[in-house]
Structure 1
Amino acid sequence: MFDLVIRNGTVVTASDVTQCDIGIRGERIVMLGESLPAGRDEIDAAGLYVMPGGIDSHVHLAQPSGDGIVMADGFESGTRSALMGGNTTVLPFCLQQKGQTLREALTAYHALAEGNCLTDVSFHLIITDPTAGVLGQEIPALVEDGYTSLKVFMTYEGMRLHDNEILATLDAARTSGALVMVHCENEDAIRFLIGKHEEAGDVSPLAHATTRPVAAEREATHRALSLAEIVDVPIVIVHVSNREAMEEIDRARKRGVKVFGETCPQYLMLTADDLDREGWEGAKFVCSPPPRDEASKAACWQGLEQGIFDLYSSDHCPFRFDDPAGKLNDKGKTSFRWIPNGIPGVETRLPILFSEGVMKGRIDLSRFVALTSTNHAKLYGLYPRKGTIAVGSDADVTLWDPKAHRTIHNADLHHGADYTPYEGLEVQGWPVSVILRGRVMVKDGVLAADPGSGTYLRRKRSRS
């Protein structure tokens, strides 16, 4: 007998849309077909889309953010918010601080996550101190232990790596089989422009956008791709915000560089004008790279439609707005320089793309599943356990009501931030029930599980 049968739904994967029932036993999908035998529990999914649980592979939770600054989400609130938005797996970052070993950083992050997660989780490793021991010993050992992705920054003093350090990290990734994600912005150009703005007394939130122009992202993207080409290793260019950076990715692919592109909701829905709101409200929209203009938004939609982007992630990096430990800290109220970079978005990621993408005809259902789940699983070593609906896969399933109309209000969301950048946005389509490894976690829009239901995932090397 099945433990759970999902009947009468329209099952959507990255390759097919079909009508069938799903039989679940334990944590796995064990049968797909018509008129399956009865289960101990059953869900009637008539009129609903039945999709793999979302995988958000770009999430910041409980991350150290500077003196006196506290991230709004730890693992409990962050994974709760992810779950209620239709996600069953998130990949947060484990930040290595200067002077710290990767093992020390991981021990601290695992302690924060243990017993608190409502989705499955797996960590990317942020490399800020690429010592000989980190590169030659820790990375190879950790990749064998299932930590198969790294991230490097080309911006943020104290976190950025210089080109020689990036090359060394890419080389360590090549020999160990890790996949490297790169945040592409030119820190020297940004620091130069910050100085010019400060000399002119231009310190409003909008200055955050004008000190991080498209050219700084485009140049760094070209440089990251050139470094990857030199080492001959695949890379992921994360949170791309504009056509110029997209063109660099396209040109590199035509040269034979193996590169994957990612964009995020803020680059589809926001512009730099949002940073220019009355008073200090623009601080709510400060993130890096910043939102651009209407032409850039249109370009990013084209990138999703035409295949420049393989991934659609939230880059959920939440801070409270009206809080001395958040956006309006003592320094943050005086200059854009001290406003914590990042916005919340893990819960609204999927509804925004479903509404603006699928329901408006920009992408089809299978492309939605690929961008939000399957490609993440394949790229980060979780497929076919995650990211699809197939016999033998984990029973991670989200049921979507395409007729549901919702207006996004922060009061209805489950993250720890006191605002959403998408306040008042009307969307069509919403995840109504979410199943994690065979367990109903959200039933008819109501949380039905406790923290600790999620598990840590050891990953394989990328299927890139």
Structure 2
Amino acid sequence: MENTGFDLVIRNAHIATATDIFDADIGIRDGRIIALAQQLPAGKEEIDAAGRWVLPGGVDAHCHLAQPTDDGSVFADDFFTGTRSAACGGTTTVMPFALQKKGATLEQSVANYHSVSDGEACIDYAFHLIVADPTTDVVERELPLLIGRGYTSLKLYMTYDDLKLNDREILDVLSVARREGAMTMIHAENTDCIAWLTERMLAKGLTTPPFHGLSRPIVVEREATHRAISLGEFLDTPVLIVHVSSEEATAQIRDAQSRGLSVYGETCPQYLFLTAADLDQPGFQGAMCICSPPPRDAKSQQAIWDGLANGTFQVFSSDHAPFRYDDPQGKKIGGKHGNFSHVPNGIPGIETRLALLFSEGVMTGRIDINKFVSVTATEPARIYGLSPRKGTICIGADADIVIWDTDIDTTISNERMHHNVDYTPYEGRRIHAWPALTMCRGSTVYRDGEFIGRKGFGEFQHCDRPKPAKPKPKFARPTPWLDVL
């Protein structure tokens, strides 16, 4: 006879999804949600949420863990420390990147990444593919093969010498994504403008961290964003612009969406909570905030908040790139007073992503709770093929659940972080919300400040071909060239 009981019941949950708010008990069996109702029968175990917000576990769809590099730098977080940190911040699924180096095959790159991830993660994970060398074999054989195996999202770079693709190479990859139903993420910055500015700054001895930001002005992001959108429009295939930092790039995405194009946007905490002034700190400390695109000004900060509220951005990710500050394999790779062009790009943020947005977004009224759930969990899962098992609280979904404390008054401190980085760029920032409990597939991995998960619990998630809603173009242009492809 089938077991109709519950392994666990979460009582008195005040639940929010991307669309609804309701009070219910949550019945869980075999790691999945099997009931949502008032006054469920007793479970083998019970947790009283006591009327607190109960939300789906976060899906961090853009983070970097144990990623190979070519410049001698080393990512501080492996799959255990990185996913431990994520779990303690309320994230239950992460999506880092299997990076193809030039000259390598994609299949070997994926195999290599599994060799450092499998058996290490304490929450669930999936991979995006970074395509850095789109050879004929990659485009014609490997990409279709891997997309069919559940690696259904691709990242392309328009900058960085060891990663960048030219427009024709981008079109080659986009054409495969169109045919195979994959989602393409694009890092949009104009590489030639950046190189031109950087060379001239270094020639004048302008080497300190603030010049990193000046070498990547808003116009280079705006131009590349416009170009990436145009390439997607040219081939009538969806594109997602990652880590958007500026008002002008946001406007490009909003304009494309207003024309009915399948264009999506992602932003990150650094563009809400840091500015260019954070690069200008005593000594070399500004290097802690070097990332690309760089933090902007207050006007762009407001535009990013507006973009979250009005739906321009569907995804809010950490872009966690964990390099230690006081480390010759980290931010000081070029020496204590090295130049900005040698500093590894990226900042840690996998643990603080959700608490920052909840505290400064939901609790201040900038966004509502449904939008919070949408951009941190539901839409990332949908866009990247993890829905409906991830990113929401519904019958049949994995029991990835976070109970939130929202009556706290504390400050962020690196001492309480669970990553392997020696700083957080948000040190001392006051927050009023933090997860009280994080559950992945029905197992508690974090409770009341303590990590209680285990290495190897996390399972690799094969992604379905995403099916993003494709708007009907308001101003459709004929595309006869596509008829002959």
TM-score (ref. length: structure 2): 0.95
For 1:163 and 1:255, locate their aligned partners in 2 and report how far apart those are by CA, in whole Å: 23
In the TM superposition, what is the alpha-carbon distance from 1:65 to its structure 2 partner?
2.3
User: Which of 191, 195, 201 is the equivalent residue of 1:197?
Assistant: 201
Q: Is 1:460 matched with 2:464? A: yes
State whether residues 279 and 286 of structure 2, in contact with CA within 8 Å, keep that contact through their aligned partners in structure 1: yes
Alignment of 1:54-453 (within 5 A): 54-331=58-335, 333-453=337-457
For 2:326 and 2:337, locate their aligned partners in 1 and report how far apart those are by CA, in whole Å: 10
In the TM superposition, what is the alpha-carbon distance from 1:244 to its structure 2 partner?
0.3
State whether residues 146 and 458 of structure 1, in contact with CA within 8 Å, keep that contact through their aligned partners in structure 2: yes
**CA offsets, 1:362-408, max 9 Å, x none?**
11111110010000111000111111111111111011011122210
In the TM superposition, what is the alpha-carbon distance from 1:247 to its structure 2 partner?
0.9
In the TM superposition, what is the alpha-carbon distance from 1:332 to its structure 2 partner?
6.6
**Larger deviation: 433-442 or 117-126?**
433-442
Q: Which runs of 5+ in 2 are unaligned?
A: 469-485
Over aligned residues, Cα RMSD in angstroms? 0.9
User: Which of 15, 37, 40 is the equivalent residue of 2:41?
Assistant: 37
For 1:449 and 1:69, locate their aligned partners in 2 and report how far apart those are by CA, in whole Å: 29
Match of 2:477 in 1: none
**CA offsets, 1:243-264, max 9 Å, x none?**
1001111121233321000110
State whether residues 328 and 335 of structure 2, in contact with CA within 8 Å, keep that contact through their aligned partners in structure 1: no
Aligned length: 464
State whether residues 331 and 339 of structure 1, in contact with CA within 8 Å, keep that contact through their aligned partners in structure 2: no
Three-state SS of the structure 2 residue aligned to 1:58 is coil
- Paired amino acid for 1:250: R
For 1:84 and 1:283, locate their aligned partners in 2 and report how far apart those are by CA, in whole Å: 26
Three-state SS of the structure 2 residue aligned to 1:20 is strand
Q: Which runs of 5+ in 1 are unaligned?
A: none
For 2:177 and 2:418, locate their aligned partners in 1 and report how far apart those are by CA, in whole Å: 36
For 2:90 and 2:246, locate their aligned partners in 1 and report how far apart those are by CA, in whole Å: 27
Match of 1:19 in 2: 23
Three-state SS of the structure 2 residue aligned to 1:421 is coil
The alpha-carbon distance between structure 1 residues 369 and 333, as it changes in their structure 2 partners (threshold 3 A), is: same
In the TM superposition, what is the alpha-carbon distance from 1:80 to its structure 2 partner?
0.4
In the TM superposition, what is the alpha-carbon distance from 1:453 to its structure 2 partner?
0.7
**CA offsets, 1:45-72, max 9 Å, x none?**
0031110000000000011223321111
**CA offsets, 1:63-99, max 9 Å, x none?**
1223321111110000000000000000001100011
For 2:152 and 2:112, locate their aligned partners in 1 and report how far apart those are by CA, in whole Å: 18
For 1:80 and 1:101, locate their aligned partners in 2 and report how far apart those are by CA, in whole Å: 30
Match of 2:475 in 1: none
For 1:84 and 1:384, locate their aligned partners in 2 and report how far apart those are by CA, in whole Å: 23
**Larger deviation: 398-407 or 19-28?**
398-407
State whether residues 331 and 338 of structure 1, in contact with CA within 8 Å, keep that contact through their aligned partners in structure 2: no
> Identity rate of aligned residues, in percent?
52
In the TM superposition, what is the alpha-carbon distance from 1:443 to its structure 2 partner?
2.3
Match of 2:478 in 1: none
**CA offsets, 1:200-224, max 9 Å, x none?**
2111000100000000000000000
TM-score (ref. length: structure 1): 0.99
**Larger deviation: 241-250 or 440-449?**
440-449
For 1:250 and 1:453, locate their aligned partners in 2 and report how far apart those are by CA, in whole Å: 40
For 1:68 and 1:191, locate their aligned partners in 2 and report how far apart those are by CA, in whole Å: 21
- Paired amino acid for 1:463: K
State whether residues 47 and 401 of structure 1, in contact with CA within 8 Å, keep that contact through their aligned partners in structure 2: no
For 2:22 and 2:157, locate their aligned partners in 1 and report how far apart those are by CA, in whole Å: 42
State whether residues 332 and 339 of structure 1, in contact with CA within 8 Å, keep that contact through their aligned partners in structure 2: no
For 1:14 and 1:254, locate their aligned partners in 2 and report how far apart those are by CA, in whole Å: 22
Runs of 4+ in 1 over 4 A off after TM superposition: none
Three-state SS of the structure 2 residue aligned to 1:378 is helix
In the TM superposition, what is the alpha-carbon distance from 1:330 to its structure 2 partner?
3.5
In the TM superposition, what is the alpha-carbon distance from 1:331 to its structure 2 partner?
4.6
